Each structure stands twice: as structure tokens, then as C-alpha cells.
Structure 1
Amino acid sequence: MTNETTQTPAPVQAYLDQYKAALGSLPGTGLPWLTELRAAGIDRFAKTGFPTQRNEAYRFTSLRALERQNFAVAPRGGAAVVPEQVPVVVEGSHRLVFVNGRFDAALSSIGNLPQGVVLESMAAALTGNPELVAENLGRTATLDGHPLLALNMAFLGDGVVLRIPRGTVVREPVELTFLAAEGAEGQSWHPRILVLAEQNCEATLVEQHLSLAGGRYFANVAAEIVVGSGARIRHYKHQGEGPDAIHMATVTTRIARDATYDSFTLNTGSILCRHEARTLLDDVNGSCHVSGAYAVRGKQHTDFTSFIDHVKPHCTSRQVVKGAIDDEARAVFQGKIVVRPDAQKTDGYQLNRALLLSDRAEINAKPELEIYADDVKCSHGATAGELDDAQLFYLRARGIPLEQARGLLIAAFLDEAMEEIADETVRAVLQSRVHAWLGAR
């Protein structure tokens, strides 16, 4: 760890000091390999600090809010939450609940899992199954160029470890709920989700980040997902944090031969959100869907950034991201597809559509294709516009009040985006949450 404290910017130094103070209380203290990973993370963050808008990847998203306030790592033994306060997406799922970043066994419910499946909190795995974590943590998500990921590694506390053995089908979804409760003000948590899907297995992962109380807090989430050959993983996420919260997420996925990764992210919460999805198709016939939707208002800022890397031939990728932006809110879409020289017969599709509901709303879109192979089929597009006057007139002519007509058209636009969700139960729940957002509007 750097000792050049006199040359270190104050916001960075605050985290370096906090790292020294928190290190002894973090899970896994005493594991040499984890100590090295954490030290590498804080060293990387010390050298870079928070990205600025001079960094092209953050050109449209300012992280000054993170520089202005030092968020203390949430202590163990957080606020009490009763089971009735925990929203459930799928009844009968294998459920892990985290309160202010810490696993809460009393609120969790893990049913009968197929033989060989490992599903436990990261803190428990570091105590009872450290070899599994040591062999896989940080192998997919590299720290270079990713300061928030480095910060997550430095303060890695709790999280989830899921390992699915070869040929195993987990029929009930694995549901991960991260709740901000009383006492979250001024705190931060840095959970790590580690998913190891072996050959020809299948599972659904449902992730939700919600708030039961107000206040500004900082959730810095990182996920590493390895999809083995022939495996199929569905990954659905809803970010509905508190109105003053800051939510940063980095999801790194590696997809093997004949494997499929199907993901969808819905962002409706937090004052500042950035979801970065980095997907590597590094064997033949791999397939990924990296789609999402957002609905923001007030002064919210949401950023959906993706990088899909086609390394081997005969792989497909699909990305559809749609969002509604109201009041003075801002949205960012940055999607990049790279096709390497050996990735012949690539099929890549990318679409971003934004619906501007106010003359003060703003969208910054930057779709990119970078192609080094000559036998590919790739396309991308980005559009932004207002509600269709002809459609509004059609509904008004049939006696529907203006605001109700606008609501119907916005709902239809966002519902169309969620057709990308293959699981009907999850789709219905996320649609209901978007409709609740519309109702509040």
C-alpha cells in the first residue's frame, strides 16, 4: 500500500485510512492470499482514485459525489429487519438476504439444493470453504482500469458464492436481496458475487437491491460469473435503491463453448447509478443477452455501460436497452462490441432507445462496433424521442385523460423492453415495479 500520503488526494487518502482501520474486522482476516488480493486492490485504487470525466469510460458520468463524502464500511450487526419487510420475487426460491451489506441468516431461506451445489455467503465461504474462493476470486474480474472494482476487492466483506456442479439443474431460482435499512446513512458495502457454473448445468439468479430507509449510502457491487461449456445461466437484476443512494456495479462474465448467459438489469432507484457489464465470449458457439431497462426522474443519473468481447467464432450477442427519462434526469448508454480477428461468423446486435418525457431530460448514447474479422453480421443503433403525438391523439379521442394516456404509452414502451426477460414470473414482477414507478409519477 502506498505511503505517499502527502501527495495523495484527500478523498483517496480517506479511503486509505479507512482501509487500515477496517482491515482487521473484514471477513477472511488471516488468509494470506486474501490479504494479498485486498492489498492489490487498495494499491490500485490509491494510484488511480475515482475515475474522472477525462476518462472516456466516464465521460458522461461524474463521480464527484463519491469524492465529496467518505463512506464508512458498514459495521457488523446492522439494523433489525422483520421478514415481512423483505420483498420476494419468486416464491420458493433459494433466498439469501443481506442487510446493510451483511448476510442475515434469520431472513434467509435456502431450501433443498441438488447434490453438490454450494450456496452460501461469502463470509461463510471464507471460513468454511476458502479453497474454492481462493481458486476463483479475481480470476475473471481484473483490476487494471477498474478503480471501483479495485475498491470492492480492497474492502471485500460479504457476498455470495454459488457453485453448480457439472450437469446439475437448479430448478428454483437463487434470489439475492440486498437491503439498505436504518443506519445506512453515510455507510458503504462492497459485496462480491461469485458464480461458478460448470459444464451443462442450469440455474436462474435473481438479484435485487432495495432500500427500507432514506439517507445517502454507497453500494459498490461486483460479480464474477463463469459459465462453463454447455451451461445456461439466467441473471436478472433490479436496482431500486433509496432516492439519495449511490449504486455502482461491475459484472464480469466469461462464457465457454456452447454456453448461454441471459441477463437483464432494471434500474429505477438511487440518485447515481452505474451498471457496467463486461462479457467475454472466449470459445465457439457461445451466446449472451445483456439487456436492460431504466426509468428515472427528478435529478437521477443512470449509466448502463457494456463491453462484449467476441474472441472465438460462431458466437452471438444481443443487447436491447430501453429507458424512460423524466424531469431533469440523465441517462447514459455506452455499449461496445469487439470482434477479434479469429471470431469469424460472429452475430452481434445492439439497440438503445430512450424516451424523453421532459424537455429537460437528457440521454447520452455511445454505441460502438470494433470489428477485426471479415465474415460477421453485426448491427447497432440508438434513438431518442418523445411520446408519439398520433398515439396520444388516438387514446385521447377515445376518452382517455391525457396523463392516463401518457402513462399507458410509457408502460407499453418499457414493457416491450422487458420482453427480453425469458422467465415469465420474474418479468411480471419487474413489470409491476415499473408500473409502480409510473403510479408514483
Structure 2
Amino acid sequence: MSAPLAVTLEPFRKQLEGVSGQPQKTALEALHHTGLPDRRVEDWKYTSLRFLAGSVFHKPGKNYDSAKARAALAALGLAEGAVAELPRLVFVNGHFVADLSVTKGLFACSFYTADKAEPGSLVRSDREPLAALNTVLAENGVVISVPEGIDAGQVLLVSLGQADSDAVSYHPRHSVHVAKGGKLSLLSVQAGEGHYLHNPVTEVFVAAEAELRHVTLQAESDAAANLSTLYAQIEERGNYDSFVVGIGAALSRHEVHACLAESFAQVHINGVQRLAQTQHGDITSVITHAAPDCISRQTVRNVLDDRARGVFQGKVLVEQIAQKTDGYQMNQALLLSGQAEIDAKPQLEIYADDVKCSHGATVGALDDDQLFYMRSRGVPEGEARQILIDAFLEEVLELIGDETAREVCKTVIARRFPVSEEGA
């Protein structure tokens, strides 16, 4: 191993020792070849993994603090109301916790006991180093399978991190299969306490005429990193409707690779980031139109305060066969501080000649005239600012089709960013 690579992988050295299994060994070879990405890699030019340097990430044990886990569920609003009645799969430090889960007949099993020869057919460990690291170190995860023609309703997938004196890293591998004509609404919630790395990989398969609504609420610890990679394949007339809300973690990246594999498939990859202090949040997507008559939509809005930095990289790739593609992409940012920063790189790569594709990006600040108008009518400055911020986010949050998931996201955002008393 060369010296630069040894430094790059040093935080995981203890966990990488003694790797067994051919898929894991193959992924480790790819990881040795590429190393973890730095900013010289084009897709990582705006996001640095320096946050991981200087730490030694240990393999977490299966023991956990039950009281803290239950308190975390309550703080996230998952222990009351309609969401408390949902089937629930809970992981702590990457390990499934049956005592906190309520399966209610849900067909789910550990990823590595599932009936499959390889740990995932969509993952490209040779191209995505974080996915390679996941393949090497993954020990647990869940397979959710919706049978043909069945509406499975709503399911809650919760990941909680617990780190005390030692930093830990965990790398769950999840897989969601919705068979022909099936339906599922999945709410993934990620949170925790302490210094840890959560590096999940999720594979999504949406069969013909099936529908999956997938909302991810990332509210990790302020001392944590969340580096998430998701792969989705959508077949004829299937619909994958995804939304990510990023408000937590010191460093986060939500990377999506979606392939519209057959005609008349649809994908929506929307999201919001609400960041402050020195948080860094990255939403990166690659949407491949590999069949004709498909639709893709992506709208992402960022609210950035203090010295927070947001990143949006969205690529729409239209292959030659994908005639009559309809693709739309928009990124908008609201900067609340002169030190906040947004980096936006929307991309179109088109090889077909009968398409309708567009992209755009806007950056702005709060409207002084609107602030003055509300303050002149007795609205305190802090409340006036919050009203404008909420209005900016509300339009996109309404794209969350599942009402329960939408209300959970709004509640958690409001708790993390209460109305300021400034100017009251």
C-alpha cells in the first residue's frame, strides 16, 4: 500500500483487518486501488473527507443504551401519533434491534441472510469508493420485499448512532424490492449522539407499474458524518418518488444513482438542506435515462446560515435510445449569512435528439422589503425571518407525497431551528 493511501484509509485500518468473503475482498482491492476520494476527483471537488482524518473508527458492539435510544425516538416525534403505529425497523450502530422494532408481519430479513449470491447487483464498488468501503465492512441491514400487486402501506426505518469515548463507524446495507404493481411508502430516519460515521448503501428496485415513496430524514449528531449512497432501478411505468431532508451531521453527502431502465418510468429526486454553523451538506445525483418516454424531476432547496456550506451536483444522462425524455432539474439556495456558501453544478449529457430537458440554479438572500413590511406591522425580526424561511422551504416540502412523513420532517426541522427572539 502506498503512503498516501495508507493515510487515507488509516481511520479504518482496524476494521479492515481480517476481511473475508470474495465480494468483500474484491471491494477491498478496488478500495486499495482508488483510495477514498479527495477533491482532485471531479465528483468530490466541493466536498472534502478531511473530517474523517485524525480519527480512529472502531467497530461498534451490539450493546446499546436502551434508554437513550427510546429517548431519541421520542425526540424525533416517532413515539406518538400516527407514526408510532407504523411498522418499524430500528438499527442502533448498524445492528438490528428487535426490542425497539415492530414488524407487524412485514417481510424483512437481514441482508446477509437473504437468498442472494452477491451483496447487491447495482452497487459499483469499482466506481464509488464509499460503496466499496460499505461492501467491505457491512455486517447488517435489511431487505424489504413487497409482493406483486400488494399495497404495503407505510414503513419506518430508523438508524440511531451511539458513540461515547471512542468513535465508531457502521456501514449498513439495505435493499428494497417492490414487485409489479406493488406500493410502499418508506420513511428513513437517521439520527444519533457522539462522534461516528454512518455510511449506508441502499439498493432500490421498482418493478413495472410499481410505486415507491421514499423519504430520508437526516438528523445526525453534530459531531457525526453521514455518507449515504443509494442506487435505484425503475422498470416500465414504475415510479420512484424520493425526498431527502438534510439538517444534521457535521459532514453529509446524499448520493443517488437512479436508472430509468424501461419505457414510461418516472423518478423524482427532491430535497431540502437546512444547515448552520460549519455544517457541510452535499446532495449529488446521477439520473440515467436508459429507455424512451421517461420522466425525471429534481428540485432541491438549501437554507444556509453562519459558515455552512451546501453542495448540489445533479447530472441527467440521456442515452441515445432514450427518445422523448422529459427531464427537469432545479437547485435554489437562500443564504442567511455573508459567510455561507453554495456550490451548484447541474449537468445535462444528452445523446438523443428528441428530448425536453432543462436545468437551473438560483442564489439569493432574504428580501429586505418583505422583512421591513412585516416588522412595520409589529412582527418581531426573528419571527419575520422564520416566516420567510418557512415559505421558501414549504413549496418543496409539499412535494413529499406521504402526509405522515411530511409532518415528521416539518416537526423535526422546527425543533432544530426554533424561532429566534432577535428583534422581539
Q: TM-score scaled by structure 2?
A: 0.93
Distance (Å, rounded) in 1 between the aligned partners of 2:275 and 2:211: 31
How many residue pairs were aligned?
A: 413
1:181 CA displacement? 2.5
1:182 CA displacement? 4.8
Q: Deviations over 1:175-224 (max 9, x none)?
A: 1111122537410000011111111111011100012x3x2111101100
Q: Which amino acid aligns with 2:98?
A: A
2:63 aligned residue: 77
1:410 aligned residue: 389
Matched, 1:285 2:285: no
Pairing partner for 2:151 from 165, 169, 192 = 169
Distance 1:14 1:422, change over 3 A: closer
1:85 CA displacement? 3.7
Q: Deviations over 1:338-363 (max 9, x none)?
A: 11111111100111000000000000
Pairing partner for 2:84 from 83, 87, 91 = 91
- Given that residues 314 and 343 in structure 1 are in contact (C-alpha distance below 8 angstroms), is that contact kept between their aligned partners in structure 2? yes
Distance (Å, rounded) in 1 between the aligned partners of 2:176 and 2:277: 35
SS in structure 2 opposite 1:351? strand
Unaligned runs of 5+ in 1: 25-34
Pairing partner for 1:218 from 188, 197, 202 = 197
SS in structure 2 opposite 1:50? coil
SS in structure 1 opposite 2:88? strand
Matched, 1:160 2:147: no
Pairing partner for 2:408 from 425, 429, 435 = 429
1:160 CA displacement? 1.1
2:23 aligned residue: 37
Distance (Å, rounded) in 2 between the aligned partners of 1:365 and 1:5: 34
- Given that residues 189 and 220 in structure 1 are in contact (C-alpha distance below 8 angstroms), is that contact kept between their aligned partners in structure 2? yes
Distance 1:394 1:309, change over 3 A: same
- Given that residues 11 and 55 in structure 2 are in contact (C-alpha distance below 8 angstroms), is that contact kept between their aligned partners in structure 1? no
Q: Deviations over 1:139-161 (max 9, x none)?
A: 01111220000000000111111
Distance 1:434 1:37, change over 3 A: same
Across the aligned residues of Structure 1 and Structure 2, the Cα RMSD in angstroms comes to: 1.8
1:9 aligned residue: 6
1:346 aligned residue: 325
SS in structure 1 opposite 2:131? helix
Matched, 1:109 2:102: yes
SS in structure 2 opposite 1:170? strand
1:148 aligned residue: 130
SS in structure 2 opposite 1:150? helix
Distance (Å, rounded) in 2 between the aligned partners of 1:330 and 1:14: 24
Distance (Å, rounded) in 2 between the aligned partners of 1:321 and 1:185: 35
Matched, 1:189 2:170: yes
Identity of aligned residues (%): 39
Distance (Å, rounded) in 2 between the aligned partners of 1:51 and 1:83: 36
- Given that residues 326 and 355 in structure 2 are in contact (C-alpha distance below 8 angstroms), is that contact kept between their aligned partners in structure 1? yes
- Given that residues 78 and 102 in structure 1 are in contact (C-alpha distance below 8 angstroms), is that contact kept between their aligned partners in structure 2? no
- Given that residues 351 and 380 in structure 1 are in contact (C-alpha distance below 8 angstroms), is that contact kept between their aligned partners in structure 2? yes
Which has the higher mean CA deviation after the structures are superposed, 75-84 or 286-295?
A: 75-84
Q: Which amino acid aligns with 2:39?
A: Q
Unaligned runs of 5+ in 2: none
Distance 1:83 1:65, change over 3 A: closer
Q: Which amino acid aligns with 1:161?
A: V
Distance (Å, rounded) in 2 between the aligned partners of 1:168 and 1:251: 24
- Given that residues 421 and 427 in structure 1 are in contact (C-alpha distance below 8 angstroms), is that contact kept between their aligned partners in structure 2? yes
Q: Which amino acid aligns with 2:129?
A: P
Q: Deviations over 1:242-268 (max 9, x none)?
A: 011011000000000110000000000
Q: 5 Å matches for 1:243-258?
A: 243-258=222-237
Q: Which amino acid aligns with 1:416?
A: E
Matched, 1:20 2:17: yes
Matched, 1:55 2:41: yes
Distance (Å, rounded) in 1 between the aligned partners of 2:385 and 2:273: 17
Q: Deviations over 1:82-110 (max 9, x none)?
A: 53542418232110111111111101111
- Given that residues 331 and 363 in structure 1 are in contact (C-alpha distance below 8 angstroms), is that contact kept between their aligned partners in structure 2? yes
Pairing partner for 1:315 from 284, 294, 318 = 294
Q: TM-score scaled by structure 1?
A: 0.90
Which has the higher mean CA deviation after the structures are superposed, 38-47 or 181-190?
A: 181-190
- Given that residues 78 and 183 in structure 1 are in contact (C-alpha distance below 8 angstroms), is that contact kept between their aligned partners in structure 2? no
1:13 CA displacement? 5.0
Q: Which amino acid aligns with 2:70?
A: P
SS in structure 2 opposite 1:341? coil
Q: 5 Å matches for 1:259-270?
A: 259-270=238-249
Pairing partner for 1:120 from 91, 109, 113 = 109
- Given that residues 256 and 283 in structure 1 are in contact (C-alpha distance below 8 angstroms), is that contact kept between their aligned partners in structure 2? yes
Distance 1:261 1:72, change over 3 A: same
1:401 CA displacement? 1.2
Pairing partner for 2:356 from 355, 369, 377 = 377
